[in-house]
Structure 1
Amino acid sequence: MKIGLYFGTFNPIHIGHLIIANHMAEHSDLEQIWMVVTPHNPLKKKDTLLDDYQRLHLVNLATDDYPKLKPSDIEFKLPQPNYTVNTLAHLRDKFPTYEFSLIMGEDNLNSLHKWKNYDMILQNHEIYVYPRVSSDLENIELKNHPKIHIINAPIVEISSTFIRENIKNKKNIQPLLPAKVWEYIDHSNFYKK
């Protein structure tokens, strides 16, 4: 099975994440998209970051109606800090019959050469890149790498930061979140302070 790994803090997950993930599931050769919830990095103090399991619950709520999208807590069990190359090695050991690919935005592709053991990632995994409005593909060498696939996906300019700020400022951002996610956030009073 060919799995696309979509990493994120998903703080919170929003319709932009779902649009990209579903587009990859429906318009590429990836059979499933695993929404990998990245744990809180203890070196970074973030008051707005919800607990790992709360964010995982929100991803569960958001993906419930999408059979090809699967929430994943795989990084919760791994040593911190999480490096993608280590997570990929762990997944290959745990699921030897699966083929894992990465899903990332153009902005991440530009900095991929700074990632730990990025050459090993490229050697062993394909990377599916979705467009960003504000991004320039400066790293032409990587853009043309045979393992990198630039996907003509819808450009979505919604950020979790924007959503959190607007909830705090009592703005109605309900259309930007899946209904179940909005209801849970509103009921739990998340991001209001």
Structure 2
Amino acid sequence: MEVGLFFGSFNPIHTGHMIIANLVKETTSVEEVWFIVSPQNPFKKNKNLLHEFDRLDLVNAAIADDYKFRSSDVEFNMPRPSYTIDTLTVLQEKHPDKTFRLIIGGDNLASFPKWKNHDKILEHFGLIVYPRPNAKPTDLINHKSIQMIDAPEVDISATLIRKLIKEGKSINYLVPEPVAGLIRSKGFFQD
């Protein structure tokens, strides 16, 4: 089974994430998309970053109705900061029956050669790349292990969502309804 891995802080997960995950699932050979929730980096305290388990709960709320979406806390128990190649290696060891591909935005493709062991990621896993506003051009788009997908350039900002919540304004349609409900009931991002 081929699995697309969508890494992120998901602070909070929003409709843009869901649109991309669904398009990957529907337009590529990927059969499942796993949302890999990145833990808080202990060296970079961000007062706006919800605790990793709260962000995992938000992801679970967002994906509850789609059996082809899964969440993962694999990085919660790994050394920090964790590098993508290390997470991919752990997942491959835990799930030798699966083929993993990394889902990234086009805005990250130009800097991808700076990632730790980026060549091994391309060789053993490969990338699915979705369009992002202001993505810099790169020759990597022609690499045999990179698949570009046709998707809208969704530019929903978690920063904007958190700002609206703090101001007591609606976040309808920016996040899935179960996520909005959980944010309200737990008082997340209210400060």
**Shorter-chain TM-score above 0.5:** yes
**Superposed counterparts of 1:93-172, under 5 Å:** 93-137=93-137, 139-140=138-139, 142-172=140-170
1:54 aligned partner: 54
- For this pair of structures, how many residues does the alignment match? 191
> Shift of residue 48 of structure 1?
0.7
> Shift of residue 185 of structure 1?
0.4
Tell me the amino acid that sits aligned with residue 148 of structure 1: I
> Shift of residue 77 of structure 1?
1.6
Aligned-partner Cα distance in 2 for 1:126–1:116: 14
Helix, strand or coil for the counterpart of 2:44? Answer: coil
Tell me the amino acid that sits aligned with residue 133 of structure 1: P
Aligned-partner Cα distance in 2 for 1:71–1:65: 13
2:21 aligned partner: 21
> Shift of residue 97 of structure 1?
1.3
> Shift of residue 186 of structure 1?
1.0
Helix, strand or coil for the counterpart of 1:34? Answer: strand
2:176 aligned partner: 178
Aligned-partner Cα distance in 2 for 1:80–1:135: 28
> Shift of residue 27 of structure 1?
1.0
> Shift of residue 154 of structure 1?
2.0
> Shift of residue 123 of structure 1?
1.1
1:70 aligned partner: 70
Aligned-partner Cα distance in 2 for 1:73–1:190: 20
TM-score under structure 1 normalisation? 0.96
Helix, strand or coil for the counterpart of 2:134? Answer: coil
Q: What's the C-alpha RMSD, in Å, of the aligned pairs?
A: 0.9
After TM superposition, which residue ranges in structure 1, 4 or more long, deviate above 6 angstroms? none
Contact 2:132 2:155 in 1 (8 A): yes
> Shift of residue 166 of structure 1?
1.4
2:91 aligned partner: 91
CA-to-aligned-CA distance 1:28-68 (integer Å, 9 cap, x gap):
10010000000001111100111111100110000011111
Aligned-partner Cα distance in 1 for 2:30–2:118: 21
Aligned-partner Cα distance in 2 for 1:100–1:110: 21
1:188 aligned partner: 186
Tell me the amino acid that sits aligned with residue 49 of structure 1: L
* Structure 1 gap ranges (5+): none
Helix, strand or coil for the counterpart of 2:173? Answer: helix
> Shift of residue 136 of structure 1?
2.5
Aligned-partner Cα distance in 2 for 1:150–1:132: 11
Q: Does 1:10 align with 2:13?
A: no
Helix, strand or coil for the counterpart of 1:6? Answer: strand
CA-to-aligned-CA distance 1:57-89 (integer Å, 9 cap, x gap):
110000011111111111112111110010111
Aligned-partner Cα distance in 2 for 1:97–1:32: 13
CA-to-aligned-CA distance 1:90-135 (integer Å, 9 cap, x gap):
1111111110000000011111011111111111111000001222
